[in-house]
Amino acid sequence: MPTDQLSATFAALADPTRRAILARLSSRECSVTELAEPFDMSLPAVSKHLRVLERAGLIARGRHAQWRPCRIKAAPLKEVAEWASHYRALWEGRLDRLDTYLQELQHKEKNHDRRPRRK
């Protein structure tokens, strides 16, 4: 299981049904029943996807006893957009920006003495 936020977000997004659920929730809150309907899926199957999205912080669920509406949370999606934007220079052919990003990464590593976990 991924332990950092960005890894948890990417893992949760690695499924077309979960991404479709997020697209649906981006316009309004929905109940599990409403979410299940267009996907022709069982409620337990949808609930399983929702648990993954909730654990990753991509959705939050209301605390009503009978109707627990799901709503999308933007913060992890913003993190994904910011992460990907560092590579924009690659497909736009502007390598100066990427150099700045790499220098920032090296600076962080030096300051925090963080090394990626052994695997």
Give the residues lining the site for a copy of itself (CB under 8 A). Answer: 2, 4, 6-8, 10-11, 13-17, 19-20, 22-23, 26-27, 38-41, 45, 48-49, 72, 74-75, 77-78, 80-81, 83-88, 90-91, 98-99, 101-102, 105, 115-119
As a whole number of angstroms, the distance between CA 33 and CA 44 comes to: 10
**Nearer residue to a copy of itself within complex by CB, 64 or 115:** 115
**Nearer residue to a copy of itself within complex by CB, 68 or 101:** 101
As a whole number of angstroms, the distance between CA 119 and CA 116 comes to: 9
